[in-house]
Amino acid sequence: MGAPTGTVTALRTKPWRGYPSVNAVHAIRAHIQQDPTKYTSAGLIPSAPAGAGHFALTPGGSAVHIGTIPQGAIVLPLSHHLLVAFAPTGNTLNVGIVGTMGGFLSALALTTPAFTGSVTSGTLMGYQANTIEVYAQLAGTAQIATAGEIDVLIPFYIQKD
């Protein structure tokens, strides 16, 4: 039995949730929000409140599990949108797997808000020989950021028969 509907469990694992029979681009996404008061709930209709699902990261702290990509998938160019610069400065963002924490995004600067699409620089991009669990981590030694917001989307296409 999972958490009740609408409850966000901070550090839960997130298995792959997809539809193998659908010819669609699957994806996992992380919305990192250091200011939990920024968005207030407007209700669940027609969609989840804007702040639902957001989570904060601790500098140099635990990596947060953001999703799972199944074996055989091919990871497509990813996108990120820094909405609010992180403050205090000095931290960067890693997105990857245990052992290669910067495999998708490595030491991404969090200082200048911008949308960036079609990022292919990660060493883990492309074919995945194994199922991988993807994490986000705030690297650096700066104080805990009380401001900062970034959205990361990692699309992938699963292997089909």
Partner 1 sequence: MGMTLYNAPKPWRGFPSMNVVHGIRLMYRVGGPGVALPRGSPKGKAIPIGTIPAGAFVRSVLTYVKTGFTAGFTIDIGGNPNTASPPVFAYDFGTGIDISAAATLPQTLTFGYVPEDVEIYARLNGAGAPTVGEFDTVIQFYINKT
Tell the smallest beta-carbon distance from residue 60 to partner 1 (Å).
Answer: 26
What's the token pair of residue 64? 């947060």
Cα separation, 110 vs 92, whole angstroms: 6
Q: Which residue, 29 or 142, has its beta carbon nearer to partner 1?
A: 29
Report the nearest approach of partner 1 to the CB of residue 141 (Å): 28
Query: Which residue, 7 or 13, has its beta carbon nearer to partner 1?
Result: 7
Residue 45 beta carbon to partner 1: minimum distance, rounded to whole angstroms: 10
Angstrom distances, CA of residue 85 to CA of 50, 93, 96, 101, 139: 19, 12, 21, 21, 15
Question: Which of 59, 39, 49 lies closest to 136 in space, CA to CA?
Answer: 59
Q: Tell the smallest beta-carbon distance from residue 148 to partner 1 (Å).
A: 13
Residues that bind partner 1 (CB under 8 A): 6-8, 16-19, 22, 24-29, 31, 39, 42, 46-53, 67, 79-81, 83, 115, 117, 149, 151, 153, 155
Q: Specify the residue, 42 or 107, whose C-beta has the smaller distance to partner 1.
A: 42
Is the CA virtual torsion 59, 62, 67, 68 positive or negative?
A: positive
